[in-house]
């Protein structure tokens, strides 16, 4: 694989993705549409306006279009990716491609019924050594992205997030009443599990998730504890760098 970065931190850099997409035509992170279709279709109607974040060179949007979804807006901060993908899908009216940073979306409030991401937030978390204590810098980046996602969703709209991150870890990022959404999650896969999180705007957090938010707020006020980090392998599978132990 000649597109492997020298360091995992490069997965966070637009330049890395630009260089990679000059050579690579297609790569599917976590799995293609068919793998998650049975879950996504329950929360995404054919007539919905859909925003795909960090589309990459994945076949996901093309497969959704073939399945009958017609209003699909794709963004990625790699200009090379957007150039190649818009050329590849020139025969799909209703499907658009924009170079854009998901932390600063150029869409008005309440533009979309569905916002979808697959492995894009994961790529922003690559440098984290410890999944339950995200560094303040990364937490700030993720928070900006989540605030934008909530802003562009319609009332009743859904944020669909496909990730390798277990609920115990990912809910810590999503369970904030400020985003004004509820959280559900589903598990996919037999051997290696992936997770589909469904956030519905305008619904309250469950009692359990609201308690998690309060607990995190209390922890944030407490003095920091020292985290002993395990050295990371620098390879493509940055998923392995995350501790995947089951919830306690
Ligand atoms: C791990 S790849 C996932 C690609 C695709 N979603 C898939 O499932 O195969 C992450 C993608 O997110 C894009 N990306 C990362 N950070 C971004 C940001 N802040 N704004 C927009 N795109 C971003 C990268 O350029 C890359 O294409």
Residue 177 in any domain: the answer is yes
Residue 184 has pLDDT above 90, yes or no: yes
pLDDT tens digit sequence for 238-247: 455 444 444 4
Task: Judge if the beta carbon of residue 82 lies within 6 A of ligand 1.
Answer: no
Residue 236 has pLDDT above 80, yes or no: no
User: What does the pLDDT read at residue 245?
Assistant: 40
- For atom 14 of ligand 1, the residue with the nearest CA is 54
- For atom 2 of ligand 1, the residue with the nearest CA is 120
Give how far the C-alpha of residue 26 lies from the chain's centroid of Cα atoms, to the nearest Å.
18
Domain harbouring 46, CATH code: 3.40.50.150
Distance of alpha carbon 27 from alpha carbon 73, whole angstroms: 19
Q: 173 CA distance to ligand 1 centroid (A)? A: 18
Residue 218 has pLDDT above 70, yes or no: yes
Q: Which residue has the higher pLDDT, 1 or 221?
A: 221
Residue 229 has pLDDT above 70, yes or no: no
The tally of domains found in the chain comes to 1
Residue 91 in any domain: the answer is yes
Task: Judge if the beta carbon of residue 17 lies within 6 A of ligand 1.
Answer: yes
pLDDT tens digit sequence for 126-168: 878 776 788 888 999 999 999 999 999 999 999 999 999 999 9
Q: Which residue has the higher pLDDT, 11 or 74?
A: 74
User: What does the pLDDT read at residue 191?
Assistant: 78
Distance of alpha carbon 228 from alpha carbon 157, whole angstroms: 40
- Domain range for 223: 8-241
pLDDT tens digit sequence for 27-40: 999 999 999 999 99
Q: Which residue has the higher pLDDT, 242 or 69?
A: 69
Residue 246 in any domain: the answer is no
Residue 1 in any domain: the answer is no
Residue 198 has pLDDT above 90, yes or no: yes
User: What does the pLDDT read at residue 233?
Assistant: 52
SS (H, E, C) the chain: CCCCCCCHHHHHCHHHHHHHHHHCCCCCCCCCHHHHHHHHCCCCCCCCEEEEECCCCCCHHHHHHHCCCCEEEEEECCHHHHHHHHHHCCCCCCEEEEECCCCCCCCCCCCEEEEEEECHHHHHCCCCCCCCCCCHHHHHHHHHHHHHHHHHEEEEEEEEEEECCCHHHHHHHHCCHHHCEEEEEEEECCCCCEEEEEEEECCCCCHHHHHHHHHHHHHHHCCCCCCCCCCCCCCCCHHHHCCCCCCC
SS (H, E, C) 88-110: HCCCCCCEEEEECCCCCCCCCCC
Residue 2 in any domain: the answer is no
Residue 188 has pLDDT above 90, yes or no: no
Which of 107-116, 140-149, 219-228 bottoms out in mean pLDDT, i.e. has the lowest?
Answer: 219-228
* 195, 163 Cβ separation under 8 angstroms: yes
Residue 119 has pLDDT above 60, yes or no: yes
Residue 247 in any domain: the answer is no
Distance of alpha carbon 90 from alpha carbon 125, whole angstroms: 32
Atom number in ligand 1 closest to CA 55: 6
pTM for the full predicted model: 0.89
Percentage of the chain modeled with pLDDT above 70: 86
Give how far the C-alpha of residue 20 lies from the chain's centroid of Cα atoms, to the nearest Å.
19
Percentage of the chain modeled with pLDDT above 90: 75
Q: Residue 129 has which token pair?
A: 């050594």
Confidence class of residue 224 from pLDDT cuts 50, 70 and 90?
Answer: low
Residue 102 in any domain: the answer is yes
Residue 92 in any domain: the answer is yes
Q: 12 CA distance to ligand 1 centroid (A)? A: 9
Pocket test for ligand 1, best of 62, 76, 81, 85 (most atoms within 8 A of CB): 76
How many Cα atoms sit within 13 Å of 145 on the Cβ side?
28
């Amino acid at each position: 694989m000649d597109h492997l970065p020298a360091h995992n931190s490069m997965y966070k850099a637009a330049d890395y993705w630009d260089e990679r997409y000059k050579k690579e035509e297609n790569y599917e992170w976590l799995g293609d549409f068919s793998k998650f279709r049975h879950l996504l279709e329950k929360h995404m109607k054919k007539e919905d306006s859909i925003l795909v974040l960090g589309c990459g060179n994945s076949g996901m949007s093309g497969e959704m279009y073939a399945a009958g979804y017609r209003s699909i807006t794709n963004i990625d901060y790699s200009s090379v990716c957007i150039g190649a993908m818009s050329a590849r899908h020139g025969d799909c009216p209703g499907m658009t491609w924009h170079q854009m940073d998901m932390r600063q979306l150029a869409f008005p409030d309440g533009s979309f019924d569905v916002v979808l991401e697959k492995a894009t937030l994961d790529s922003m978390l690559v440098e984290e050594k410890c999944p339950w204590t995200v560094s303040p810098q990364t937490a700030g980046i993720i928070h900006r992205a989540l605030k934008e996602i909530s802003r562009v969703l319609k009332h009743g709209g859904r944020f669909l997030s496909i990730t390798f991150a277990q609920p115990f870890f990912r809910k810590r990022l999503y369970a904030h009443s400020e985003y004004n959404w509820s959280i559900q999650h589903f598990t996919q896969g037999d051997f290696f599990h992936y997770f589909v999180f469904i956030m519905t705007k305008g619904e309250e957090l469950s009692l359990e998730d609201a308690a998690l938010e309060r607990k995190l707020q209390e922890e944030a006020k407490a003095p920091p504890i020292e985290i002993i980090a395990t050295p990371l392998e620098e390879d493509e599978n940055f998923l392995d760098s995350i501790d995947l132990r089951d919830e306690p």
